[in-house]
Structure formats: structure tokens, C-alpha cells
Amino acid sequence: MRKETVGLLIGISIGLVIGIALAIVALSCFTYRRKRFQIGSSSSRSSATTPIRENGADSTSIFSDSVVEIESPRYAIQNGMAMWFGRFKKDGVVAASGIPQYSYKDMQKATYNFSSLIGQGAYGPVYKAQVSSGDTVAVKVLATNSKQGEKEFQTEVMLLGRLHHRNLVNLVGYCAEKNQHMLIYVYMSRGSLASHLYNEKVEPLSWKVRVQIALDVARGLEYLHEGAVPPVVHRDIKSSNILLDHSMRARVADFGLSREEMVSKCASSIRGTFGYLDPEYISTRGFTKKCDIYSYGVLLFELIAGRKPLQGLMEQVELAAMSTEGKVGWEEIVDPRLNGKFDVGELNELADLAHRCVLPIARERPSMRDIVQVLSRVLKSRQSKKHPSTLENEVTINMHQLEHRRAESLDSMTE
């Protein structure tokens, strides 16, 4: 009996030792795998995130120039992204995001052997094309000698693969074959905002259309700043990067310089377009959503004045602000092509908003959500002026509802 007890104790002891050893081995394996996962996640964090919401996918466009400076390799694209690009076709990471891939032969056929040129930018040529589905598209081709273009190609594919909004361009396909890299978008028939503001051969935009464009752009940026997780800073808002569809509704284009705000808030070199660059960003090299707010303010003044930033726009604005105190009296800067056909109240409200967007201290600027609210209120006020009877009916209905609720409340108190 005693021998059996000793044997049982020895067996239990051996079992405990083996169990503890297995637990240690399992814990070690778990810790090792977790570390590897964290390393992999940190290197590709920018490509793994998804937006909080999607607000439509009916907008894409051709592209315009971007004036940029060279960005340092340290800041440009992380190692994980570079590894992905090296195995672009092999791994099919982009295809997994739902973006269709087209072959070089498909693009060659769609562009009639690349003979349908419609634009030329710093990135490379842009062609009008028709794909097999019958849809008309714009094909943006990376210049073969452009290293900066390769980085922007990667950025646009990874960002636009997950960002969808009715006021942003949407990527409908890409091509990465025969050392060629192309981005494919739905063709935007009205071209860029810049072409309408500065081309004398094009009919000038009406005041009503300008205000609507301002709101469209603001909504697109609000989605980037508030709806995307992590928030995205566009970093190149300008009139040539705003595209118009057949209904003159605006979409924000060209995300080659865009960055997720959580990745880095400090750049080792200045990126963007002169005339639109936030002075605080230039001095600190730290970019935030407020950099987009400044660029948007310049764009808003462009819509008002019809003058390019590098042609004395902001100097004219500052002179006007000194005499108007930023609130009223902005008529002196209005685009002469409007021939006086604008609403003075709306003008003063938009100009005051734009002036707050370009304040030198970033934290004093409004958010994109604030901007959308102001512009929405301007349009709503315009509608109420056009249909005062509708507003009166709404007020009357509301009064009847209020009286009915009061009567029900009194009845319940009596009971």
C-alpha cells in the first residue's frame, strides 16, 4: 500500500513538472509570435486601417499637376510599404483591397495605344480611355524616370483603396506591369476648378456654383479629417486638384502627398504647392489637419477673387481685411468676371470664414466640421429666401405641434 502511494506521488510530481514545462514552452511561443506580429503591424500600419464610415462612391476624376519638393527617404514610405511594392503582383495585396487590376494590354487598347492624351502633369501623362465595360475613364501614367511618382502611386493606391466619399475621387483600377504603373479613374467631363477660374475661353463660374463647390470640397475634407480612422491630411489642396463632374459638383483629387496623421506629424522637408502652404508648417515642418484648413482658406479666396495665390491674392486679401476688419466690405476683392452678380451677405460670410482659415496661428483656425456648418447654413438661408412661404408653413406646423403637445400635457396632468 505504501509503495502504491509513493508511486502515485511520483507520478503526480512528474506530471506537474511536464505540465509546467509545456506551459513555459507555450508561453514562450506566444510571446515570440506576438512580438513578430507587433513588428509586422508597425511596419504596415498605414495600410491596415479602415475608415469609420463610407459616404458614397460616385466620384472619380482626371488629375492635374502637383508642385512638390523632394521628400527624404526616411519620411516617405515605410519599409513595409516598400516590401509590398516589390512583391506587387506576387502578393496581390492591392487586389485583396477590392481594386481591380488591369493589364498593360488592356490599357494600351483602352487608350488607342496611348494616343488619347488629355493632360500632362509632374506625375506623367493623362489619357482619356474606354474600358471593356464601356465606362469612360482617365488613365494617369507614372513617368518611368519618376522615383517620387512611385511613392505617390503607392500612397494613392493604399489610401484610395479604403477611402470612399461622394466628394473624393475614387480609384476604379490600376495597372502595374512591364515597369509601368497607372492609376485609373472615372473621367470628369468638366476638368479642374482652375481651368474654369483662369481660362478666358471658358464661361466664368456663377456665384451660386462657386459656393456649392466650396461646400463640396469642405465635405470631402471633413470626411478625411473626421471620418477616416486614422485621420488623413491631404497636404495639397489647390484649385487644380479640385475636379468637376458634368453637374459641376466638386471632388477632391490627387492624394499622392497625403498622409495618415497618426503615422508622423513631422516632415523632414517641405511638401506641397507654393501659395497654399501653411506658414506654421513651413516654420515648424509639423503637418496637421490645420495645414489643410489653411490651404482651403486660400482656395476659398480663389473662388471669391478669381486670382491665383502667386499673383498677389493673399496680399490683396490682407489689404482688404485691414479696411474691413474681416467682417464686411469684401466687395473690392470679388472676381470682376462675376459682373456684380453675387449676394453681398454670402460674400461677406464666405470671406470672413476664409480669413479665419488663414490665420497665422493654427489653433485659432476653425475645423472642417465648423466650415461645413457655416457653408450649409449659407445655402439653407438662400433657400429660405427663395421659398419664404415654405418656411412660414414649417413655422405654423411647428406651432400647431407645440400647442398639441401642451394640450396633451395638460390632459395628462388633469388625469
Whether the bond between 336 and the residue before it is cis, its omega within 30 degrees of 0, is no
Residue 245 lies in a domain: yes
107 shares its domain with 199: no
**In angstroms, rounded to a whole number, what is the distance separating the alpha carbons of residues 183 and 172?**
8
pLDDT at site 408: 59
Say whether both 225 and 342 belong to one domain.
yes
Asked whether residue 297 falls in the same domain as residue 174, the answer is: no
The three-class DSSP label of residue 96 is helix
Q: Is the pLDDT of residue 398 over 80?
A: no
CB 23 within 8 A of CB 63: no
Q: Are 208 and 167 in the same domain?
A: no
Same domain, 116 and 202: no
Q: 198 and 163 in one domain?
A: no
- Return the active site residues: 236
CATH number at residue 255: 1.10.510.10
pTM for the full predicted model: 0.72
**Residue 141 domain-assigned?**
yes
Among 326, 357, 331, smallest CA distance to 343 is for: 331
- For the ranges 86-90, 96-100, 406-410, which has the lowest average pLDDT? 86-90
Q: Does the residue 88 lie in any domain? A: yes
Give tens-digit pLDDT for 252-301.
998 888 988 865 566 667 889 999 999 999 998 888 999 999 999 999 99
Do 220 and 242 lie in one domain? The reply is yes
Cell numbers at residue 359, please?
490665420
Domain assignment of residue 51, yes or no? no
115 and 135 both lie in a single domain: yes
Mean pLDDT of 135-140: 91
User: Does 15 fall in a domain?
Assistant: no
Q: Do 141 and 219 belong to one domain?
A: no
For residue 211, the surrounding DSSP H or E stretch is helix 207-222
Q: What is the CATH number of the domain that holds 98?
A: 3.30.200.20
Q: Checking DSSP bridges between strand 259-260 and strand 125-130, what pairing results, if any?
A: unpaired
- Has residue 3 been placed in a domain? no
pLDDT at 40: 39
209-250 tens-digit pLDDT: 999 999 999 999 999 999 998 999 999 999 999 999 999 999
In a domain, 293, yes or no: yes
Asked whether residue 348 falls in the same domain as residue 292, the answer is: yes
17-21, 180-184, 372-376, 402-406, range with the lowest pLDDT: 402-406
CA separation for the pair 191, 214 (Å, rounded)? 16
Domain boundary among 136, 154, 186: 186
Structural domain ending residue among the three candidates 145, 165, 186: 186
Residue 322 falls inside a structural domain = yes
For the chain, the average pLDDT equals: 78
Angle (CA) 32 261 314, round 5°: 165
Asked whether the beta carbons of 253 and 63 are under 8 A apart, the reply is yes
Q: Which domain holds residue 248?
A: 193-382
The total domain count for the chain is 2
**To which residue does cell 516590401 refer?**
83
**Domain identity same for 166 and 257:** no
Instruction: Mark out the alpha helices in 73-189 (DSSP H runs).
Output: 79-86, 88-91, 93-96, 104-110, 147-160
Domain boundary among 148, 170, 186: 186
Q: Examine the pLDDT at 81 and tell me if it is beyond 50.
A: no
**Which amino acid, residue 98?**
G
